[in-house]
Amino acid sequence: MIALVQYCAVSCMLVFLAISMTFAQQYRFVTYGIENGLPQSEVTDILQDSRGMIWISTNGGGVARFNGKSFKVINKSNGLLNDRVKKIYEDKRKNLWFFTEKGITIYNGKTFQKIADAEGFVSGEGYEVVETNETQLWVLVKTFQGKKKILHWNGERFIDFTAQNLKLLQNNEVWAIAVDKQNTLFIQTEQGFFEYVHERLKVSEINKSLPPHSQILLLNSNLHKEPRFLIEQNNQLFLFAFKNENFEILHKIASVPLNDFLYLTEDVQGNIFFSTQKRGFSIIEKNGKITNFNTSNGLPSANVYVIFKDNRNNIWLSSYGKGLIRYMGEDFIQFHTEVGFETGIIWAIQQDKEGKLWIAENGDKPLGFFENKSFKTIPVTTEKYVKRGCGIAINDKNEIFMSSTRGLWQVQAGKLVNVSKKFGLPDDIYTNAIRHTTKGLWIATYQEGLYFYDYQTHKTIWFNSQNSNLVSNLINDVFEDSEGKIWICTNHGISVYDGKQMLNYDKKHKLHVDYIISATEDKQKNLWFATFSGLVKFNKSTEKFEIYDERAGISSATIYSVLVDRRNWLWLGTQNGINILQLNEKGEIQKTKTYNQDNNFASIEANERAIFEDKDGNVWIGTVKGLIKCQPDFVNFDIQIPAAHLIDLDLNLQKTDWLSKDLQKYHQGLQDWEFVPRNLKLPHNYNYLTFHFETLDYSDENLFFQWKLEGIENEWSKPSRKNEAIYTNLPPRNYRFLVRACLPNGKCSEKVAVYSFTIMPAFWQTWWFSVLIATFIIAFIAFVVVQRIKAIEAQKRLLEEKVQEARKALLLQNEALLKKNEEIEKQKAELQQLNVTKDKFFSILAHDIKGPLNSLTAFLNIMTEHLDAMSREDILFMSGSLNKSVKNLYGLLENVLSWSRSQMGVLEYKPEKLCLHTLTEENLQLLAISAQNKGIDLINLVEKEVFAYADANSIKAVLRNLISNAIKFTSTDGKVIISTKIDKNEIVVSVEDTGVGMNEFAMSKIFDISARYSTKGTANEVGTGLGLVLVKEFVEKNKGKVFVKSEEGVGTCFSFTLPKFEETGNYTPQQTIQMDLEQ
């Protein structure tokens, strides 16, 4: 009892120390709920089976297998007896037992076996399970009535062990069960402890050593295979083991009553994990350190029940309402506004000589330090809004300086004082960074260059691009290397100051990036720079720069801070978490490790220059979401890459039930624990496959997948985060699908998952079908050849007959060709004649126009020059002559125009009902003056009721030309008679005169334009020779003919025919038709 009291006192001290050490830490937890694929938010149990798979049971959603990223749900629709699962257990045969409110479902990776009342099982609301050998399973059931009973599984059915043993029934109540390494079953009851061994129940020796005035709870330990005992004394819980017939204290658990205890488990390292009602959970490490987790330091829920540590040391928690909770460990601990930060946007970290940690952030009071469980801010002496602390420097006198967006500040007498003027700086200058070196303070400014305060002379020197050859006045940071050189990081390159002169590196001088943020140095004296274009290394031995980006395994090329720690690890604060690079003895990157929000790093974006290593080797990183403490002892570069494995196979982009009747014939069952068919042989048209794969990744590494399908691919795919591969239109053959997991740096697991399957050919793609087709083709060819020979002989005879016929046809064609040739020659002659006619026409036209124009010119010249000397008679003579010349010229042009329009085929032809009497009368009136001048009578004998079907304009031109010619060649007192007569369907129109007449030669030339036959009239009237040519063409266009009769000295009669208009005739409606001269 004295030892127990001493242990209690020591434990209380450890608890107090642990609490004081974890005063404001925010531990990182990740929750997985319904939105992540968990079927229900109330988790009842967690188990990792012998294959490494983690199983989660829920109170209404069935169970789910978790691979670290996603959940595979199994419920009633898949084979569970009930979805309210209370307990998961794996027996020695590696079968999974799912205990539900309605019974048990046993899953062997292939099939589900259901056990209920018929097999002797008693359902309840809670279960504890132990196993003594492969067939001896013991289940403690808490029934719905609140009673507990022990059920024994004999391999076939359950037996009520409590009912079979009177010692357990008589005035007694069972509380707990456990087993030890010798397969002894320990039973705790209201009346004490019992042991069941060698099929015999006896009272346990434990009863003799029970401590007085205490409450005890028996716990089963599957890890150590020996019972554990929770003993409450004076409101204190202790964990005991029973050894050598005595209780041995293992640990003090908590200052809570036994009734508040929920769950306890141990790991192989000797750590203890336990949960209590509404108090979260705690970890007792082997060295005695106690860490309590509750809602005040990051635990999402105080209602934690099951605590489970997997084989990769991840801790998983079950909760009621918060789903599955994962404790991310102490690799990274976050401090934010809950510890006293004003904004939590951290820009600088330093540690003074006393070990006090100083922090600069955004806000009214940007500087402070950790003390007595919280962050203490330093008050500012002025009302000036500092806005942001940019950097912190602590000199050898332990004086604290802070650079800011509004001047340089120093801690004096517990207050923050602006000392810009004291150090020779403008009062409100933007000081970007401040660094303490062996010789003095370096103060980097934004736009004003660099200031150096000398500790010996107490003077400030100003360096800028004008007086010191600085590469830029926009200074981001200053770093002193192991040789005492000052490396100045600017927006436009790097300047190096050795105490005497500046050496610049920029895009013109070796450096290929410009925005340099901060610098550090490794143990091999290489300089490393954070830039917005990646990580830059300066090798002093070669004086060359090298750039590293995402291709080197860095999570982001936008790097804000850089640090080399005492391990010679290179730490990078980036836009996407942090990177830790392990350098080898040559200063080369050997291994990389990335942390971001997906794997334990509480924030995502680091701040510029905000990185620091304290005296204990912890690395502190300032981020936009608080201060992060990194403990390098937890960093493991040698991560074992988990193996990928196939979990599902789909057809045609649809979820496929391979156990359906339609698909069972293509495989030999499913692979154990997966939904992938064995020995799959698919028909040719089932060739659209989707492979689903995963890794059992509980290490939070950012993993990628690579795959290939041997049979159509020889090379691995590019690394991808996708966990499926789709192949379409696969041709028939044997295939092997391979998949493996890889790290971001390109290193891949040596374990490759392989799945073989076959796409069977269609019957027309098989060898026997090819042979059958070949035989058929040969027989068919032979048949075709024989038939061809017969056909050739028949064709030969037929060809001989056709040759004879063709010979006759050729002779006929030859004759036809000769006739055609004659026609062509005739057309050629006609075309030649037409060309001659055209040439002659233009010659006539030029000659006939020239004459009247010469006359007009001559008369006009005479009248112009001698008008004053001319008498009235002369003027009348001249004007008469001019009138005559103009009329001749007008007549000539009118006929030429009509003839040319006729030749071009643009003369409009509008056949209609035509009254010849009226048309004749109009022409006679038009030519009446010409006839009166010569004393010629114009007689119209055309009957008024005579109607022709012709074009009015063209017939008017015909009558005008014929009457005009008759007047021209008729002497004084002569007559011109126009008459008609009807001849069947035609009307014959005659224009007869008593003129001079014509001989046979003249009549043969008058209708030929190439002959250009023209004579003067009886009054010396000049003609063009075109009038009768137009008459002939116009009459023929109106489907008529022209005749002429003449006798010299007697007169001439021109006659032409026109179609007679019939009232009952079927005429096309009047329309304008272009006259085709080729018709």
Of 508, 515, 579, 505, the residue nearest 545 (C-alpha): 505
Query: 531 and 445 in one domain?
Result: yes
Q: Give 813's pLDDT tier (boundaries 50, 70, 90).
A: confident
97 forms beta bridges with 89, 106
Highest mean pLDDT: which of 16-25, 721-730, 804-813, 821-830?
Answer: 721-730
- Contact in structure between 419 and 410 (CB atoms under 8 Å): yes
What's the pLDDT score for residue 1019? 66
Does a structural domain hold residue 502? yes
pLDDT of residue 105: 95
Confidence of residue 1004 (pLDDT cuts 50, 70, 90): confident
Range of the domain at 300: 1-32+226-331
pLDDT the model gives residue 54: 93
Residue 1032 has pLDDT above 90, yes or no: no
pLDDT (tens digit per residue) in 345-358: 999 999 999 999 99
- Using an 8 Å Cβ cutoff, are 919 and 959 in contact? yes
Confidence check: pLDDT of 459 > 90: yes
pLDDT of residue 310: 85
The pLDDT of residue 177 is: 92
Nearest-10 crossing angle of helices 872-904, 952-968: 140
Which of 707, 738, 765 corresponds to the end of one domain? 765
Q: How far apart are CA 386 and CA 549, in angstroms?
A: 36
Q: In terms of domains, do 354 and 484 share one?
A: yes
pLDDT score for 9? 37
User: Do residues 704 and 740 both lie within one domain?
Assistant: yes
Mean per-residue pLDDT for 635-660? 88
Among 295, 314, 331, the domain boundary falls at 331
Q: Point out the least confidently predicted range of 373-382, 461-470, 710-719.
A: 373-382
Span 533-558, average pLDDT:
90
* pLDDT value of position 724: 94
Q: Are 558 and 412 found together in one domain?
A: yes
pLDDT in tens, 876-930: 777 766 665 666 566 556 656 655 655 555 566 788 889 989 898 888 887 887 8
15 pLDDT exceeds 50? no
Q: Are strands 475-480 and 975-983 parallel, antiparallel or unpaired?
A: unpaired
For position 1068, what pLDDT does the model report?
55
Statement: residue 218 has pLDDT above 80: yes
Rg (the chain; Cα; Å): 60
Provide the token pair at 885: 């010349």
* In a shared domain, residues 372 and 477: yes
Question: What is the CATH number for 517?
Answer: 2.130.10.10
pLDDT class of 850 with cuts at 50, 70, 90: low
Mean pLDDT on 387-410: 94
Going by pLDDT thresholds of 50, 70 and 90, the confidence category of residue 1079 is very low
The pair of three-digit structure tokens given for residue 1023, joined into one six-digit string: 């003609």
Q: At 727, is the pLDDT very low, low, confident or very high (cuts 50, 70, 90)? A: very high
> Is 552 found in the same domain as 461?
yes
Query: Is residue 796 very low, low, confident or very high in pLDDT (cuts 50, 70, 90)?
Result: confident
The residue ranking higher by pLDDT, 733 or 167, is: 733
pLDDT in the model for residue 1005: 78
What is the Cα–Cα distance from 1075 to 901, expressed in whole angstroms?
9
pLDDT surpassing 80 at residue 17 = no
Q: Is the pLDDT of residue 837 over 80?
A: no
Q: What is the pLDDT of residues 357-367, one digit of tens each?
A: 999 999 889 99
DSSP structure string for 990-1056: EEEE-S----HHHHHHTT-TTTT-----TT-----S-HHHHHHHHHHHTT--EEEEEETTTEEEEEE
Q: Which of 1043, 1050, 940 is nearest to 995 (CA)?
A: 1050
CATH number at residue 931: 3.30.565.10
* Average pLDDT for the chain: 85
Q: Two tokens at 374?
A: 């919280």
Residues 511 and 565 in one domain: yes
Q: Does one domain contain both 739 and 771?
A: no
Count of domains in the chain? 5
Q: How confident is the model at residue 2 (pLDDT cuts 50, 70, 90)?
A: very low
Q: Are residues 554 and 488 in the same domain?
A: yes
CA dist 592 → 11, 580, 582, 638 (Å):
41, 6, 6, 10
Percentage of the chain modeled with pLDDT above 70: 88
- Summarize the confidence of residues 213-224 as an average pLDDT: 79
- CA–CA gap between residue 667 and residue 756 (Å, rounded): 12
The label of the residue with tokens 């890890």 reads 223
The pLDDT assigned to 1024 comes to 54
Q: Look up the CATH number of the domain holding residue 683.
A: 2.60.40.10
Neighbour count for residue 751 (Cβ, 10 Å): 14
- The helix/strand count (H/E) of the chain reads as 11, 72
Is the pLDDT assigned to residue 220 strictly greater than 50? yes
Q: Is residue 742 part of a domain?
A: yes
445 plus 517 within the same structural domain = yes
Q: With contact defined as beta carbons under 8 Å apart, do 635 and 587 qualify?
A: no
In a domain, 174, yes or no: no
Other beta carbons within 10 angstroms of residue 201's beta carbon come to 16
Taking the C-alpha atoms of residue 226 and residue 248, their distance in angstroms, rounded to an integer, is 13
- Could you tell me if residue 376 is inside a domain? yes
Answer whether residue 157 is part of any domain.
no
Structure tokens at 351: 């540690």
Which tens digits make up the pLDDT trace of 478-502? 999 999 999 999 999 999 999 999 9
Q: Please check whether residue 517 is in contact with residue 532, taking contact to mean a CB–CB distance below 8 angstroms.
A: yes
* Spatial distance between the Cα atoms of 986 and 1061, rounded to a whole number of angstroms: 9
Contact assessment for residue 579 and residue 552, using Cβ atoms and an 8 Å cutoff:
no
Of all helices (H) and strands (E), which one includes residue 876? helix 872-904
Same domain, 498 and 559: yes
Q: pLDDT of 962-993, one tens digit each?
A: 998 888 889 888 999 999 998 888 999 999 99
From 732, 765, 798, give the residue that closes a domain.
765
Beta bridge partners of 651: 654, 689
* CA neighbours closer than 13 Å in the CB half-sphere of residue 943: 9
Residues 749 and 774 both lie in one domain = no
> Mean of the pLDDT values across residues 539-563?
90
pLDDT at 834 over 70: no
Q: Mark out the alpha helices in 935-999 (DSSP H runs).
A: 952-968
Per the domain annotation, does 504 fall within a domain? yes
- Contact assessment for residue 317 and residue 325, using Cβ atoms and an 8 Å cutoff: yes
* % of the chain beyond a pLDDT of 90: 43
What distance separates the 2 farthest-apart alpha carbons in the chain? 179
Domain membership of residue 161 (yes or no) is: no
Q: Is the pLDDT of residue 753 over 70?
A: yes
Q: Is the pLDDT of residue 788 over 90?
A: no
In a domain, 155, yes or no: no
Helices 916-926 and 952-968 sit at what angle, rounded to 10 degrees? 50
Phi, psi of 959 (to 5 degrees): -60, -40
